[in-house]
Chains A and B, each alone.
Chain A
Amino acid sequence: GAVVSQHPSWVICKSGTSVKIECRSLDFQATTMFWYRQFPKQSLMLMATSNEGSKATYEQGVEKDKFLINHASLTLSTLTVTSAHPEDSSFYICSASGAGSSYEQYFGPGTRLTVT
């Protein structure tokens, strides 16, 4: 089946620093990648949708200058949390979708970010 990896799996950083999270589709070309955030006991909230070679589309309420998304190739998308604050501590999950009309998304294992 389709495999999506994320790196790092967990990260602790100091307030004010930036953190980059990578999302890779290992065995298929991902034309679209999605970034979600999940706070404890809450659902996955879509942050943004990115298509390879295009600017990301952000959901309402998500600051595009704070959460920088780059989808430079068909197998890699990155999310950079800039000037992180403790309230950015969360579980960040990416998913990838291949070409065609399939709605199936393949999820990465997630990255747990803790900002101190």
Chain B
Amino acid sequence: RKEVEQDPGPFNVPEGATVAFNCTYSNSASQSFFWYRQDCRKEPKLLMSVYSSGNEDGRFTAQLNRASQYISLLIRDSKLSDSATYLCAVSPFSGGYNKLIFGAGTRLAVHP
């Protein structure tokens, strides 16, 4: 079983739609959780950190469910510019290094 798993998609949605992605992780001792956005042939860019209490940034809402070991990302009012691959990342915080384990990513395509 992979440490971090995501549905690869693609999710094809019309502009204005609400779309949600889930990401599951296997290490119950994981400490930190993130959502990154990656455009084709570019580096990942941090979208938001995910906290136990959940957090919201504009149209984006992230939540963490430690009991079920998953994190989610909700995008409201999708824009064409939201088309990208969304990567979840988990930090196991092993040995004092804050390394990240990435999921394979979920591809989102927003169409007019």
Contacts and interface: CB of A to CB of B under 8 A. Distances in A.
A44 B44 contact: yes
Given A105-B98, A110-B43, 18 more contacts: A32-B98, A34-B99, A43-B102, A43-B103, A44-B102, A46-B99, A46-B100, A46-B102, A57-B97, A95-B100, A102-B98, A103-B91, A103-B93, A103-B98, A104-B49, A105-B100, A109-B43, A112-B41
Contacts, number: 52
A interface, by DSSP: helix, strand, loop or mixed?
strand
A49 interface: yes
B interface, by DSSP: helix, strand, loop or mixed?
loop
Contacts of A36: 102
A32 B34 CA distance: 18
Given A43-B87, A104-B46, A107-B45, A97 B102 contact: no
B42 A43 contact: no
Contact of A107 (B44, B103, B104): B44
Interface string B92-112: 010101111111110000000
Nearest to A40: B41
Interface of A: 32, 34, 36, 42-46, 49, 51, 57, 91, 93, 95, 97, 102-105, 107-110, 112
B32 interface: yes
A103 B97 contact: no
A97 B98 contact: yes
A108 B32 contact: no
